[in-house]
Structure formats: C-alpha cells, structure tokens
Amino acid sequence: MITGAGRGLGQAIARRLHRDGYHLVLGDIDGPRARATVAELGARHTAVEADITHRSAADELAAAAMERHGRLDVWVNNAGVMPLGWLHGQAPDVLTYTCEVNLGGVVRGSLAAIEHMRSQGSGHIINIASITAVKPLAGFAVYGATKAAVVSFSQSLRRELHHDSIHVTAVLPYMITTPMTPGIEPRLLRPLGTSPVADAVARAISKRRATIYLPRTARFLTWTALLPQRVQDVTDDILRMDDVASAAGTPARAHYDDELNAHAARSTTT
C-alpha cells in the first residue's frame, strides 16, 4: 500500500516495488493519476482514489488490499504537501491541510495498517519524512514541523510495535526533484531524483532499518543542532539558508500552489 502514488516519489516507489514483484494498492487524492500508474504497471495492482485527510480513506485503502490480496505486508505513508513562504503570508486553510495530510495522514494510515498487520503477525510501516525534520528552515515552518512530528511518531510507534513483529521506518530525504519542489534553491547538497529514494524504500523493507537519511551524508545536518545557537545563526547567514524558499509564490511554483490551494479549500468544506 502506497499513499500519494499518482506521481512524484509515490509513483517512483510504486515502479520500484513493482519490479520487486509486489502486489500494490496505490492511493491518491487524484484518482485518474493513480489509475494511470496502475495502467502503466499492470493488472495485478489496484488504484484507489482516497483523500488521506479522512480516516475512512485509510480504512478503504486497507480494505482494498485485504480484498484483493488477502494480506497487508507493507504500508508506505508517502502522501504529503509542501507550502512555501513565511508563515504570516500563508492561508490558514492551507496550513491546516498541510498538518492533516503530512501528519494526520501518517497517523491514519498507520492505524489502518496496524489493525491488519497485528492479526497476521507481521508487517512494515514506512513513513516518508524530510531532512527539514532535523534542519529547520525559514519558509518551511509548518512543513518542517509536520515532518519532525513524523520522525518522532515513527520512533515511538516502532517501540510500541516491535513485540508484534511490525517494523517502522522513517525516511528523511534531502530535497527531491518532484512537482512540489520547483523554485526551491538547495544548499550544500545536490537535489535527489526520485529513483534513489524509491530504491532506499525497497532496501528498508528487507533490512528493517529504523531511520534512513538520504543521501547518507545528509545525516551531518543533525549535528548542527549541537552547535551554539549563535554559531548556527552565523552559519545559516553565510550560506543564505533563509533564501532556500525565496521562490515561494513565483511562476515556477504556480501550478503546484494552485493545486494545493484547491485541495485545501475543498478539504475545509467537506
């Protein structure tokens, strides 16, 4: 089961796990995109139109897996959105929607997965977080906060479930080139393609690691939190870290922002 599988990283994960022989249920708020991915990959897979901000959507995804395949071995909580810009300039409904998708969706998906994994005595939940969980950035306040919460949630849940033979992995990638990242100005490291992250998810299933940083060198960003605050601030100023999100509201992100605003508005009225 993969959420947000209609495009971007979710689609790349679907393609990778398809090559490994998995039978997939692909969930996405955009049903046509999910169905197009299934049409590409083959009839052994299933597409489900699902808005993960609703608990019923997670239950429907789990039910589809059980009905089609009889068990649920892996659940990838990938669905996410990324608003950019200073907090005071962002629409309240977009901020609420971001929390509901990025954190609420992970919680709902995990609850639905656990219900079936416990009864079968095994399973693996993989939560896609972000390096912004450990390296906060201006312009990513709510996005980074949700991803930090996903990491903490994953670590706690792993301890809760290890006696049930259900493993939990948090994946913290650096910036990935997807429809949500146009205009972002990376620092220090090169942006990732979706394929290396999808490969890491596939490896995580077999190796059962608790936390994965991508690339591995990105882990050094966790160490910066140990520096005195003044040193952190001076370093961020030198590297112009506050400019990473400077493209917020520019034409480069117009299409993505329009989609995000529409989904957020729809979510607040349902």
- For the record, the structure tokens of 147 come out as 């991803």
Domain of 26, CATH number, reads: 3.40.50.720
DSSP calls for 192-208 = BPHHHHHHHHHHHHHH-
CA distance 169 to 164: 15
- For the record, the structure tokens of 204 come out as 């995580």
Catalytic residue among 22, 97, 143, 213: 143
- For the record, the structure tokens of 16 come out as 């990778």
Q: Which domain holds residue 32?
A: 2-268
The total of structural domains in the chain comes to 1
- For the record, the structure tokens of 255 come out as 């299409």
**pTM of the predicted model, to two decimals?**
0.94
Active site residue 97: no
For the chain, 270 residues long, give each residue's pLDDT as a single digit of tens: 999 999 999 999 999 999 999 999 999 999 999 999 999 999 999 999 999 999 899 999 999 999 999 999 999 999 999 999 999 999 999 999 999 999 999 999 999 999 999 999 999 999 999 999 999 999 999 999 999 999 999 999 999 999 999 999 999 999 998 888 887 888 888 889 999 999 999 999 988 899 999 988 888 888 787 889 999 999 989 989 899 887 777 787 888 999 999 999 988 776
